[in-house]
């Protein structure tokens, strides 16, 4: 006779209670900022902000209307979506193509090439040389591709993909080779179908970092219509913050600063699209765990 | 037939005009401006085009990102993009740019010849010669902006509380201030039966230091020498007082994190929410009412109107309190507005003709009131106009400072007379509240050579030590160790350098 569950002792019950309590607190700590921001973005303009209401007495969508009427939000949104889609597709493809050979023990010079790539994780050229290389040497200044090409391969993510490939049974490759498949065929027909979890992971990471990036857009583009959404957001949110006002001259006295509610609404508008991606990718994460556990 | 001839004639005339403008455009020189704007300007902005036509030049704006000035401008410099007119955000940057060979020398005589208005306004009238601030090794590299109105921050007392506690005016001496603050803390002025009011938060302390004569963040004159406020023995007296107040519950324990809890930086949450009875956060243009349509936005005033109208109506504006020896003071704006100094690209040095033209255009934009207003607001009748009743210029047709920035304003230099002309009610308000009384200014106006090596660490040491002393974590006598430490960690070097500079002024 086997009992499925061990009878809970008072100690383990106490442990469970605290466990749940901490989990709820942890969840609250993450949900509250989003909730706060959402409420702030719905606050009507006649509500004093220094009072700190949990739920605003007057709710309105006027902030969202104003955000949507912002001249650059539309351009920024289109640019950000374009960059995220194109950038993610190219990045994932290149990372897989780099990671797969590096995962093979028979790849000539494997150690050297891995070291070569890892080197870039620890040493970078610095901002100005990078900028000059991209804009002058590669001639990417002002081109859409400057957002995509320099960061095509994220070394860390690529190494994770490589480790994933190394974990796949060698027999999989051998079975393909027996049937006469070449390396590319093996990668496309055999390896990729079982690698969906790592592809989803790379895609998500890559998409999120593309969506959040703004610094490169600021450096390489001078036309405001080419800027990405996060840069537009950053400008709106930084308005009226102390360090910017200190730069100020007489002109700052007559500056119309967007109120906090507009900033909150802008943040929501810029954040929600990328958050919506998560549910679609999540099932692959679950699968990834299952796949991992089946290997023996 | 007649109609056809008419049409033909119009066509020919039109062609001719186009030809002419094309000719004129060929002769136009291009002036590039490196500047930050509240919103990035468009290359084909309506106002930019108008300004180009008016001055018969091609203005090209190289937008520098506001929140990332240094990264943004240094990458542009790196690829050789150097503007003709460069906004220099502080004198330390002026020195850096000159060192890097980015700025053209601007001899005073050359300025006088080509920009007589600016020269008279900024250089000659000032008896101490404003160009000395931009002069490095005997050569001038720019035009500094002199600030005309030197106001300190607002000193706002809760008038309703003071009245209730039997004070009929804002405290004027340190003793009266102490009396008022103790009353505020101990006698429950908000009448809610809970002992939840404090006297001051972070900003109320400044004038306590001032009452002893030296502000911890300023270089001030002491017997003809420049000294740093934080290490003066008077500051120890101020700290003794503040530590006592903290112990007695006068100072809000949250002073460490400040009175503003997010949002617009000049708004004091503690004051608006009946937590403290005195705040000095925010300048006059934050606290004044909105006087006329198009007046600058009074962030603090408008928020207080919504959050605590009763407090707003009864505010008593005070002056910096005087200490036992009759001293008083709060920090005002510096004599020169270092953040709006203008430099000129090195390429102009090789091309005096173009340099002259750049200066002439810049001069013209500032030389009459209307030209100046046009340069900051756009086209009269389209973007701005004088208000019918008050006569003050303001943006119209739904424009705000962001929309005109986007359309490409090319601001000239604002001389004090214009500030007064376009914003008289607001400046009168500041004088009425006596914000010009008891102003202390930083008398060190140049960056020190070693400041980059020591300043951050010294500031940190100062802030940590003072906070600990006020909170009672350290005895007041720890101040003496702090002074020794401050001099040892580079303060002596800074003091020497400051006085080396100060000595050159006296000549």
* pLDDT one-digit tens code per residue, B335-362: 666 667 889 999 999 999 999 999 999 9
pLDDT at B295 over 70: yes
CA distance A247 to B89: 7
Final residue of a structural domain among B381, B414, B447: B414
A198-207, B17-26, B170-179, B427-436: least confident range:
B17-26
Asked if B91 and B446 touch (Cβ cutoff 8 Å), the reply is yes
In order of B52, B155, B164, B273, the CA distances from B159 in angstroms are: 52, 12, 8, 15
**Phi, psi angles (nearest 5°) of residue A44:** -75, 160
Query: Cβ A128–B36 below 8 Å, yes or no?
Result: no
Q: Taking Cα atoms as reference points, which of B287, B265, B268 lies closest to residue B279?
A: B268
Tell me the residue range of the domain where A37 lies.
11-65
Query: Cβ B39–A48 below 8 Å, yes or no?
Result: no
Asked if B279 and B315 touch (Cβ cutoff 8 Å), the reply is no
Tokens of A38: 């959402």
Neighbouring-strand partners of residue B60: B32
Find the Cα–Cα–Cα–Cα dihedral B415, B418, B422, B427, rounded to 10°. Answer: 60
Could you tell me if B288 and B233 lie in one domain?
Answer: yes
Asked if B62 and B83 touch (Cβ cutoff 8 Å), the reply is yes
Could you tell me if B170 and B145 lie in one domain?
Answer: no
In B37-57, which positions are buried (b, 16+ CB within 10 angstroms) versus exposed (e)?
Answer: bbbbbbeebbbbbbbbebbeb
pLDDT at B286 over 60: yes
Q: Is B293 on the interface with A (CB under 8 A)?
A: no
From A129's Cα to the closest Cα of chain B, the distance in A is 9
Q: Is B351 on the interface with A (CB under 8 A)?
A: no
Query: Cβ A250–B340 below 8 Å, yes or no?
Result: yes
Q: In this predicted model, which residue has the larger pLDDT, B47 or A257?
A: B47
Q: In this predicted model, which residue has the larger pLDDT, B25 or B111?
A: B111
* pLDDT one-digit tens code per residue, B450-461: 887 898 899 999
H/E run at residue B339: strand B336-344
From A162's Cα to the closest Cα of chain B, the distance in A is 35
Contacts of B36 in chain A (CB under 8 A): 247
**Phi, psi angles (nearest 5°) of residue A76:** -60, -40
Could you tell me if A154 and A28 lie in one domain?
Answer: no
The answer to the question of residue B21 being in a domain is no
Q: Give the residue on B whose Cα is nearest the Cα of A240.
A: B264
**Which of the residues A72, A238, A254 would you substitute to probe the B interface, choosing the one with the greatest number of B C-beta atoms within 10 Å?**
A254
Mean pLDDT, residues B331-338: 72
Q: Is B149 on the interface with A (CB under 8 A)?
A: no
For A50, which of B79, B303, B419 is closest by C-beta distance?
Answer: B303
Q: In this predicted model, which residue has the larger pLDDT, B159 or B4?
A: B159
Could you tell me if B304 and B449 lie in one domain?
Answer: yes
Q: What DSSP state is assigned to residue A191? A: I
CA distance B398 to B487: 55
Rg of chain B's alpha carbons, rounded to an integer?
Answer: 27
ipTM: 0.76
Q: What is the CA angle B228-B234-B238, rounded to 5?
A: 110
Final residue of a structural domain among A25, A44, A65: A65
Q: Is B74 on the interface with A (CB under 8 A)?
A: yes
Query: Cβ A247–B69 below 8 Å, yes or no?
Result: yes
Looking at residue A105, its pLDDT comes to 87
**Residue B173: CB partners within 8 Å, gap ≥ 6?**
B321, B322, B323
Could you tell me if B106 and B163 lie in one domain?
Answer: no
For A257, which of B273, B299, B307 is closest by C-beta distance?
Answer: B299
Q: What DSSP state is assigned to residue B122? A: I
pLDDT at B483 over 70: yes
Looking at residue A295, its pLDDT comes to 45
pLDDT at B294 over 50: yes
Q: Taking Cα atoms as reference points, which of A90, A95, A103, A290 lies closest to residue A194?
A: A290
Residues found in chain B: 507
pLDDT in tens, chain A (296 residues): 555 667 778 888 899 999 999 999 999 999 999 999 999 899 888 888 777 778 888 888 888 988 888 778 889 999 999 999 999 999 999 999 999 999 988 899 999 999 999 998 888 888 889 999 888 888 888 889 999 998 899 999 999 999 999 988 888 888 889 999 888 999 998 899 888 888 998 999 999 999 999 999 988 988 888 899 999 888 888 877 665 554 444 555 566 667 788 889 999 999 999 888 888 887 777 665 545 444 43
The answer to the question of residue B390 being in a domain is yes
Could you tell me if B143 and B258 lie in one domain?
Answer: no
Q: Taking Cα atoms as reference points, which of B83, B105, B92, B107 lies closest to residue B35?
A: B83
Query: Cβ B264–A260 below 8 Å, yes or no?
Result: yes
| Domain tally, chain B | 2
Looking at residue B338, its pLDDT comes to 64
Query: Cβ B376–A251 below 8 Å, yes or no?
Result: yes
Q: Taking Cα atoms as reference points, which of B397, B402, B367 lies closest to residue B385?
A: B397
Could you tell me if A193 and A46 lie in one domain?
Answer: no
pLDDT at B247 over 90: yes
Q: What DSSP state is assigned to residue B337? A: E
Q: Look up the CATH number of the domain holding residue B105.
A: 3.40.190.10
Tell me the residue range of the domain where B141 lies.
26-150+335-414
pLDDT at B321 over 70: yes
pLDDT at B411 over 90: no
Contacts of B308 in chain A (CB under 8 A): 48, 50
Could you tell me if A213 and A267 lie in one domain?
Answer: yes
Contacts of B291 in chain A (CB under 8 A): none
Looking at residue A256, its pLDDT comes to 64
Looking at residue B361, its pLDDT comes to 92
Q: In this predicted model, which residue has the larger pLDDT, B173 or B504?
A: B173
Looking at residue A8, its pLDDT comes to 77
Return the percentage of chain B with pLDDT > 70, whole number. 92
The answer to the question of residue B1 being in a domain is no
How much is the pTM? 0.80
**Residue A159: CB partners within 8 Å, gap ≥ 6?**
A99, A117, A118
Could you tell me if A225 and A256 lie in one domain?
Answer: yes
Query: Cβ B63–A224 below 8 Å, yes or no?
Result: yes
Contacts of A71 in chain B (CB under 8 A): 406
CA distance B222 to B468: 27
Looking at residue B84, its pLDDT comes to 93
**Which of the residues B258, B264, B272, B298 would you substitute to probe the A interface, choosing the one with the greatest number of A C-beta atoms within 10 Å?**
B264
**Which of the residues A43, A50, A72, A238 would you substitute to probe the B interface, choosing the one with the greatest number of B C-beta atoms within 10 Å?**
A50
Q: Give the residue on B whose Cα is nearest the Cα of A253.
A: B296
Contacts of B265 in chain A (CB under 8 A): 240-242, 245
For A257, which of B69, B264, B340 is closest by C-beta distance?
Answer: B264
Return the percentage of chain B with pLDDT > 90, whole number. 41
Query: Cβ A246–B296 below 8 Å, yes or no?
Result: no
Q: Which of residues 268-287 of B touch A (CB under 8 A)?
A: 269, 272-273, 285
Tokens of B341: 């100094």
Q: Taking Cα atoms as reference points, which of B451, B443, B363, B374 lies closest to residue B407?
A: B374
Query: Cβ A243–B89 below 8 Å, yes or no?
Result: no
| Domain tally, chain A | 2
The answer to the question of residue B496 being in a domain is yes
Looking at residue B124, its pLDDT comes to 60
- CA B356 from centre of chain: 29
Looking at residue B163, its pLDDT comes to 92
Interhelix angle for B233-247 vs B478-486, to 10°?
140
From B422's Cα to the closest Cα of chain A, the distance in A is 11
* pLDDT one-digit tens code per residue, A260-295: 888 899 999 999 998 888 888 877 776 655 454 444
Strand B439-440 vs strand B330-331: parallel, antiparallel, or unpaired?
Answer: parallel
Could you tell me if B304 and B327 lie in one domain?
Answer: yes
Unique residue bearing structure tokens 């590669």: A138
Could you tell me if A129 and A25 lie in one domain?
Answer: no
Asked if B339 and A245 touch (Cβ cutoff 8 Å), the reply is no
Q: Is B68 on the interface with A (CB under 8 A)?
A: yes
For A249, which of B78, B267, B339 is closest by C-beta distance?
Answer: B339
Mean pLDDT, residues B122-130: 63
Final residue of a structural domain among B380, B414, B448: B414
Rg of chain A's alpha carbons, rounded to an integer?
Answer: 25
Q: Give the residue on B whose Cα is nearest the Cα of A241.
A: B265
Mean pLDDT, residues B420-431: 87
From B265's Cα to the closest Cα of chain A, the distance in A is 6
Could you tell me if A80 and A28 lie in one domain?
Answer: no
Find the Cα–Cα–Cα–Cα dihedral B398, B400, B404, B405, rounded to 10°. Answer: -150
- Helix, strand counts (H, E) of chain A: 15, 0
Looking at residue B5, its pLDDT comes to 61
Final residue of a structural domain among A50, A65, A80: A65
Q: Is B479 on the interface with A (CB under 8 A)?
A: no
pLDDT-based confidence at B476, cuts 50/70/90?
A: very high
pLDDT at B162 over 50: yes
From B148's Cα to the closest Cα of chain A, the distance in A is 11
Could you tell me if A113 and A28 lie in one domain?
Answer: no
Query: Cβ A260–B299 below 8 Å, yes or no?
Result: no
Query: Cβ B264–A132 below 8 Å, yes or no?
Result: no
Could you tell me if B296 and B443 lie in one domain?
Answer: yes
- CA B119 from centre of chain: 22
CA distance B428 to B475: 45
């Amino acid at each position: 006779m086997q009992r499925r569950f061990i009878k809970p002792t008072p100690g383990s019950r106490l442990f469970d209670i605290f466990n749940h309590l901490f989990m709820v607190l942890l969840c609250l700590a993450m949900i509250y900022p989003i909730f706060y921001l959402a409420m702030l973005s719905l606050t009507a303009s006649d509500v004093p902000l220094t009072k700190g209401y949990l739920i605003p007495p007057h709710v309105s969508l006027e902030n969202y209307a104003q955000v949507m009427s912002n001249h650059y939000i539309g351009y920024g949104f289109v640019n950000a979506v374009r960059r995220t889609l194109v950038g993610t597709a190219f990045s994932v493809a290149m990372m897989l193509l780099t990671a797969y050979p590096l995962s093979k023990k028979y790849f000539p010079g494997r150690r050297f090439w891995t070291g070569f790539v890892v080197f870039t994780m620890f040493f970078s050229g610095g901002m100005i040389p990078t900028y000059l290389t991209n804009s002058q040497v590669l001639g990417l200044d002002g081109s859409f591709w400057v957002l995509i090409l320099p960061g095509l391969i994220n070394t860390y993510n690529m190494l994770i993909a490589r480790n994933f490939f190394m974990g796949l049974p060698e027999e999989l490759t051998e079975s393909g080779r027996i049937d006469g498949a070449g390396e590319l065929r093996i990668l496309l027909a055999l390896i990729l179908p079982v690698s969906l979890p790592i592809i989803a992971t790379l895609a998500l990471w890559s998409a999120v970092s593309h969506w959040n990036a703004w610094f490169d857009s600021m450096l390489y583009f001078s036309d405001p219509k080419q800027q990405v959404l996060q840069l537009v957001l950053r400008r709106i949110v930084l308005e009226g913050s102390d360090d910017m006002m200190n730069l100020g001259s007489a002109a700052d006295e007559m500056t119309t600063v967007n109120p906090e509610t507009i900033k909150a609404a802008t943040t929501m508008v810029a954040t929600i699209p990328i958050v919506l991606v998560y549910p679609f990718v999540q099932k692959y994460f679950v699968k990834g765990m299952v796949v991992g556990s089946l290997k023996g | 037939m007649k109609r056809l001839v008419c049409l033909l004639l119009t066509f020919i005339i039109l062609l001719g005009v186009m030809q002419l403008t094309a000719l004129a455009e060929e002769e136009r020189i291009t002036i590039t401006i490196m500047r930050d704007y509240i919103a990035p300007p468009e290359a084909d902005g309506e106002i930019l085009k108008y300004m180009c036509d008016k001055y018969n030049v091609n203005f090209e704006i190289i937008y520098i990102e506001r929140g990332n000035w240094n990264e943004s401008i240094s990458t542009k410099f790196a690829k050789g993009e150097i503007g003709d007119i460069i906004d220099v955000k502080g004198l330390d940057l002026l020195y850096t740019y000159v060192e890097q060979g980015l700025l053209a020398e601007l001899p005073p005589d050359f300025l006088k010849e080509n920009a007589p208005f600016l020269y008279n306004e900024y250089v000659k009238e000032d008896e101490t010669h404003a160009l000395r601030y931009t002069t490095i090794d005997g050569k001038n590299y720019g035009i500094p902006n002199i600030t005309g109105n030197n106001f300190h921050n607002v000193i706002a007392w809760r008038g309703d509380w003071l009245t209730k506690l039997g004070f009929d005016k804002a405290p004027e001496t340190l003793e009266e201030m102490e009396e008022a603050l103790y009353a505020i803390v101990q006698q429950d002025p908000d009448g809610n039966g809970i002992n939840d009011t404090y006297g001051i938060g972070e900003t109320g302390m400044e004038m306590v230091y001032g009452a002893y004569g030296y502000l911890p963040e300023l270089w001030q004159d002491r017997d003809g020498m420049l000294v740093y406020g934080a290490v003066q023995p008077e500051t120890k007296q101020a700290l003794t007082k503040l530590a006592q107040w903290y112990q007695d519950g006068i100072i809000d324990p949250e002073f460490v994190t400040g009175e503003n809890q997010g949002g617009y930086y000049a708004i004091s949450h503690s004051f608006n929410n009946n937590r403290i009875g005195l705040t000095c956060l925010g300048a006059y243009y934050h606290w004044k009412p909105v006087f006329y349509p198009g007046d600058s936005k009074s962030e603090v005033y408008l928020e207080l109107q919504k959050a605590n109208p009763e407090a707003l109506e009864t505010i008593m504006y005070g002056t910096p309190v005087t200490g036992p020896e009759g001293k008083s003071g709060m920090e005002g704006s510096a004599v020169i507005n270092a953040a709006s100094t203008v430099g000129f690209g090195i390429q102009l040095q090789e091309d005096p003709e173009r340099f002259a033209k750049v200066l002439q255009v810049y001069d013209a934009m500032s030389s009459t009131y209307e030209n100046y207003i046009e340069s900051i607001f756009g086209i009269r009748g389209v973007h701005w106009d004088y208000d019918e009743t008050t006569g003050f210029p303001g943006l119209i047709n739904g424009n705000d400072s962001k929309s005109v920035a986007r359309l490409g304003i090319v601001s000239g230099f604002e001389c004090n007379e214009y500030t007064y002309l376009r914003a008289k009610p607001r400046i009168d308000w500041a004088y009425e509240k006596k914000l010009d009384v008891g102003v202390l200014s930083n008398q060190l106006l140049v960056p020190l050579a070693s400041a980059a090596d020591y300043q951050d660490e010294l500031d940190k040491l100062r802030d940590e030590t003072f906070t600990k002393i006020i909170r009672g974590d350290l005895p007041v006598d720890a101040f003496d160790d702090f002074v020794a430490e401050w001099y040892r960690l580079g303060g002596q070097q800074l003091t020497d350098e400051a006085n080396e500079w100060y000595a050159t002024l006296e000549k």
